[in-house]
Amino acid sequence: MAPSFALALLRSVREENNSENRTNLSAAEQPSDSVDSATSPRQKPRKKLSQIIARPSSPLQGIRLPRPSSPLPLLRRSHTQSMAATKPDAPFLEHKHQPPTSILVLSHGLQGTVEDFSYLLETLDSTDEVSSGRILVHASRVNTDKTHDGIDLGGLRLAEDIRHTVAKHSSLQSISLVGFSLGGMYVRYAAAHLYDQQTGKIAGLTADKIVMVASPNLGVRQFGVYRFLQSMIPIAHGLLFNTAKQLLLRDEDCLLELMTRNTHAKGGAFMSAIMAFRQKVLYANLRNDFMVNYGTAALDEDVKQISGDTLERVMNGFGATTIDEDADEKGCRVCFELEYAPAADGGARVRDQRAQLHDGDAVERVMAARLRAAGWSVIGVDFPMPAPLAHNRIVAMSRNMMHTWMNASGRRVVHHLVDQLCAPTPSPSSSPPSSSSSSSSTAQARLFKRVSRVEEEDRATQPALLSKLSLKLSLPGRDAD
């Protein structure tokens, strides 16, 4: 009987619970119906519930923060802000504190981008001259993905980009040009087409500084690893793009040689444009640059390849001024500086005569003599390391995180370059600069004091050699201008 009683009791309790659940369910549904009937057709039944949820119980609760569609913009924000502009014709570093009086144009190299100059731009932006707005920095993008179609076409694009940028800033008075690697050739070509023979100005502005960093001024045919590939070049000639043909001196017109003349069919006064600049500087890697050897970057045609003995001769045999003998913790040395005297100051002079040159490196020899006659300061940089990776290190290329890490040792060179670019220069003269006045202005604007020049013996040898070769280049099978 007890079990039967227990079962009956459990059944009674279960029925009572079910009855209460039904009652509660009905009670819960009734307010909802009353709310629906009390609200207007436009009111939603969830409004009060949303108000309750939106009501913050603390000062921070209920605050909605904007959320980016992707984390990438936040990760790259600092980088894009430092670059400042994305349009091809827009300056990268422009400050509004005062109207700019000087423009600094940067030109990247073969297959390069403006991101190659990331650390240089960052360092420039930290200087008073740029942060105050006095110097406008413009890193040109016009040759991005277009570096294979020829130095001439790239130079014309750069010239047009400079014209367009200068036209937007009426306060500009002077211009400086910086080219890295192939960008140095673009800079030289653009300067010639922006040069006004009547005023001696570049793009209507006083020519201040021209700086070429590891640029193949004499081509690459006789320098570094390329001189061992001469037998393969005729076979692969049809596969070479225009820029490669020009750098290997295999193009029909030999453009690089034409760029050491003052007038030619291309219509540019190349040497006059270079000599218009008050300060002319070449940066060259002493070794471990397999792309642009020291000889072609520093206008020294006799240095085909740097070895231990050659390094000592280059550093000590030409009257070079030592800048710093100590290497930094990463091994970089901005170690010496030498000067090629302008022709007006006793340097090499090149007379305009016709000749046929059959010597294997005669083209490079004449090009070097003509360019040296403009007067240059050469900065020798040394990266002692087992791998030939100095080419990108000389500008501390920072295209991505890997490049930034690999090329960090070049930051010392970049600091030296920025000091050169931001050093004060004399007030621009209204008259066109001559060779002697250019040399005088250069001496006043130098960051480091030059205590010696190229040895007299070496300077005397150059004109004698060129005189023997008749001093004027006309390639075999072509007539000189």
Counted residue by residue, the chain has a size of: 481
CB atoms under 10 Å from CB of 147, counted, come to 21
* Confidence band, pLDDT 50/70/90 cuts, at residue 346: very low
Task: Kindly give the interhelix angle for 151-167 and 182-194, rounded to the nearest 10 degrees.
Answer: 60
* Confidence band, pLDDT 50/70/90 cuts, at residue 189: very high
Q: Flag whether pLDDT at 181 surpasses 90.
A: yes
According to the model, what pLDDT value does residue 162 have? 98
According to the model, what pLDDT value does residue 335 have? 66
> In the chain, pLDDT over 90 holds for what percent of residues?
37
Q: Flag whether pLDDT at 35 surpasses 50.
A: no
Longest dimension (CA), the chain: 138
What is the average pLDDT across 120-146? Answer: 94
Query: Of 316, 338, 334, whose CA–CA distance to 326 is shortest?
Result: 334
Higher per-residue confidence, 82 vs 42: 42
354-409 residue pLDDT tens: 333 434 568 889 999 999 999 999 998 888 877 888 899 999 998 888 888 988 88
According to the model, what pLDDT value does residue 425 have? 67
Higher per-residue confidence, 323 vs 412: 412
CB atoms under 10 Å from CB of 212, counted, come to 26
Phi, psi of 130 (to 5 degrees): -85, -45
According to the model, what pLDDT value does residue 185 have? 97
Q: Flag whether pLDDT at 462 surpasses 50.
A: no
| CA dist., res. 395 & res. 114, Å (int) | 12
CB distance 477 to 261 below 8 Å:
no
| CA dist., res. 325 & res. 335, Å (int) | 6
* Confidence band, pLDDT 50/70/90 cuts, at residue 77: very low
According to the model, what pLDDT value does residue 319 have? 53
Q: By mean pLDDT, which of 17-31, 210-224, 398-412, 454-468 is the weakest? A: 454-468
- Residue ranges and CATH numbers for the domains of the chain are 87-425+437-468 (3.40.50.1820)
* Confidence band, pLDDT 50/70/90 cuts, at residue 50: very low
What is the average pLDDT across 160-169? Answer: 96
* Confidence band, pLDDT 50/70/90 cuts, at residue 312: low
230-259 residue pLDDT tens: 555 555 555 578 998 999 888 888 899 999
Q: Flag whether pLDDT at 481 surpasses 80.
A: no
What is the average pLDDT across 280-295? Answer: 90
Q: Flag whether pLDDT at 13 surpasses 90.
A: no
| CA dist., res. 283 & res. 394, Å (int) | 8
Which range has highest mean pLDDT (22-36, 58-72, 192-206, 284-298)? 192-206
According to the model, what pLDDT value does residue 345 have? 53
Q: Flag whether pLDDT at 169 surpasses 90.
A: yes
CB distance 180 to 211 below 8 Å:
no
3-state SS of the chain is CHHHHHHHHHHHHHHHHHHHHHHHHHHHHHHHHHHHHHCCCCCCCCHHHHHHHHCCCCCCCCCCCCCCCCCHHHHCHHHHHHHCCCCCCCCCECCCCCCCCEEEEEECCCCCCHHHHHHHHHHHHCCHHHHCCCEEEEECCCCCCCCCCCHHHHHHHHHHHHHHHHHCCCCCCEEEEEEECHHHHHHHHHHHHHEECCCCEECCEEEEEEEEECCCCCCCCCCHHHHHHCCCHHHHHHHCCHHHHHHCCCCCCCHHHHCCCCCCCCCCCHHHHHHHCCEEEEEEECCCECCCCHHHHCCCCCCCCCCHHHHHHHHHCCCCEECCCCCCCCCCEEEEEEEECCHHHCCCCCCCCCCCCCCCCHHHHHHHHHHHCCCEEEEEEECCCCCCEHHHHCCCCCCCHHHHHHCHHHHHHHHHHHHHHHCCCCCCCCCCCCHHHHHHHHHHHCCCCCCCCCCHHHHHHHHHHHHHCCCCCCCCCCCCC
According to the model, what pLDDT value does residue 432 have? 45
According to the model, what pLDDT value does residue 362 have? 81
According to the model, what pLDDT value does residue 384 have? 80
Higher per-residue confidence, 162 vs 80: 162
According to the model, what pLDDT value does residue 270 have? 92
What is the average pLDDT across 152-163? Answer: 97
Higher per-residue confidence, 472 vs 413: 413
Show Cβ contacts of residue 168 under 8 Å, excluding neighbours closer than 6 positions: none
Which range has highest mean pLDDT (95-104, 187-196, 250-259)? 187-196
The reported pTM is 0.67
Which range has highest mean pLDDT (165-174, 225-234, 347-356)? 165-174
According to the model, what pLDDT value does residue 338 have? 73
According to the model, what pLDDT value does residue 215 have? 96
According to the model, what pLDDT value does residue 85 have? 39
What is the average pLDDT across 146-154? Answer: 94
Q: Flag whether pLDDT at 268 surpasses 90.
A: no
Mean pLDDT (the chain) is 71
* Confidence band, pLDDT 50/70/90 cuts, at residue 127: very high
CB distance 458 to 303 below 8 Å:
no
Q: By mean pLDDT, which of 182-196, 287-301, 421-435 is the weakest? A: 421-435
* Confidence band, pLDDT 50/70/90 cuts, at residue 429: very low
Q: Flag whether pLDDT at 89 surpasses 70.
A: no
